[in-house]
Structure 1
Amino acid sequence: MRQRLLAVGFLTLVALPVHAAEEPAGGLSPFAGNVGNAIWTLAIFLIVVIVLGKFAWGPVLTLLRQREDFIQRSLSEAKRNRDEAEARLKEYGAKLRSAQAEAVSIIDQARRDAERLREELRTRAQTEADTLVRNAERQIQLETSRALQQIRHEAADLSIMIASKLIQRNLSKEDNEKLINDALSQIETRRPH
């Protein structure tokens, strides 16, 4: 319905210059004409203004207000989205810095743990090496003592054997008896009574 009224109003406006052109021209002055024409022109102008005001300007203004509201909402939403994006960017930046600090902390802790483990392994290896050296020295001393003991026994046995052979050759029966008696008397003097 509105569109029909707008079309009628538009056709009326378009028809006015054509209707004015059909009348004989009394002169080319813009003020030429009579009062009746002026009243009709003013009446038609007021009707057009009222019709446009009632049917066209209201919807046009409503559309303009809706468009303005839409643009305002879009701007508000864009600002809100921008603010949210900036907040998220700050949040992610803080999280990234926190993650970097944590990574540095983890790396430092791993280095400290590796250094502690290296020192512990070095100490353990040194302790084991010292233990092995002490055990080897003890074993060498034991083996040396055994070897010396065995050498002493063998030397004593060899000395006894050589001495007995020498004694058998050089001593007479009386010398032999005297040696035995002297040895027995020394044993008796050493024995506690």
Structure 2
Amino acid sequence: MDLITPNIGLIFWQLVIFLIVLFLLAKFAWKPILGSLKEREDSIESALRMAEQAKLEMQQLKAGNEKLIAEARMERDKMMQEATLMANQLIEQAKDKATEEGSRMIMQAREAIQNEKHAALTEVKNTAAKLSIDIAERILRRELADAGSQQQLVDSYLKDVKLN
């Protein structure tokens, strides 16, 4: 039970030992402990500052990336517009060329048709003339087979000549 009710001597010695330990801790241990705590606090604060700075840099990089993406999209759109314009121009040129070629072919076909028509008409005229001559020759041979008929024909021609 002596431990439960402390003596003045025990309290005194406990107080002296506590003060010695406190003095030794203050003299040798508090400064290194406080220094390490201060170091740790500084390193944590530095890490927080670096994290904040990294966060700002990431935001700046993100903004820069968004700007680059927007520029790339604008350039892509511009290139697409130019490509569409060029494609439309090529289509128009091809249409114009096809129209021109078609017109040229139509003109050539018309000229060929005209040439064929003239050739056919000339051939028809020549054939008609030949047939007319053949028919006239056959008629004249039949009618002028005797000398009297021939004399009558010559006389009628001479009368026509005198009248003119």
Asked if Structure 1 and Structure 2 have the same fold, meaning a TM-score greater than 0.5 normalized by the shorter chain, the answer is yes
Higher relative contact order (CA 8 A, sep 6+): 1
Task: Compute the TM-score of the two structures, normalised by the length of structure 2.
Answer: 0.76
For residues 96 and 66 of structure 2, what CA distance do their matches in structure 1 show?
44
Alignment of 1:103-114 (within 5 A): 103-114=76-87
- Please give the secondary structure, in 1, of the residue aligned with 2:6: helix
For residues 105 and 54 of structure 1, what CA distance do their matches in structure 2 show?
76
Q: Which runs of 5+ in 1 are unaligned?
A: 1-17, 25-36, 180-193
Shift of 1:176: 5.5
For residues 173 and 77 of structure 1, what CA distance do their matches in structure 2 show?
141
Aligned pair count?
151
Alignment of 1:1-193 (within 5 A): 21-23=6-8, 45=19, 47-168=20-141, 169-170=143-144, 172=150, 175=153
Shift of 1:175: 4.3
Task: Compute the TM-score of the two structures, normalised by the length of structure 1.
Answer: 0.65
RMSD: 3.3
Shift of 1:112: 0.8
Shift of 1:69: 1.4
Moved over 3 A (4+): 41-45, 47-50, 173-179
Shift of 1:164: 2.1
Which moved further from structure 2: 116-125 or 144-153? 116-125
Post-superposition CA distance 1:161-188 (Å, at most 9, x none): 2222233325505745997xxxxxxxxx
1:33 — aligned with what? Answer: none
- Identity %, equivalent residues: 26
For residues 68 and 117 of structure 2, what CA distance do their matches in structure 1 show?
71
Q: Which runs of 5+ in 2 are unaligned?
A: 158-164
Q: Which amino acid aligns with 1:134?
A: M
For residues 27 and 56 of structure 2, what CA distance do their matches in structure 1 show?
42
Q: Which amino acid aligns with 1:172?
A: Q
For residues 100 and 36 of structure 2, what CA distance do their matches in structure 1 show?
93
Q: Which amino acid aligns with 1:59?
A: P
Post-superposition CA distance 1:12-56 (Å, at most 9, x none): xxxxxx7x92338xxxxxxxxxxxx6xxx68973x4443222222
Q: Which amino acid aligns with 1:150?
A: E
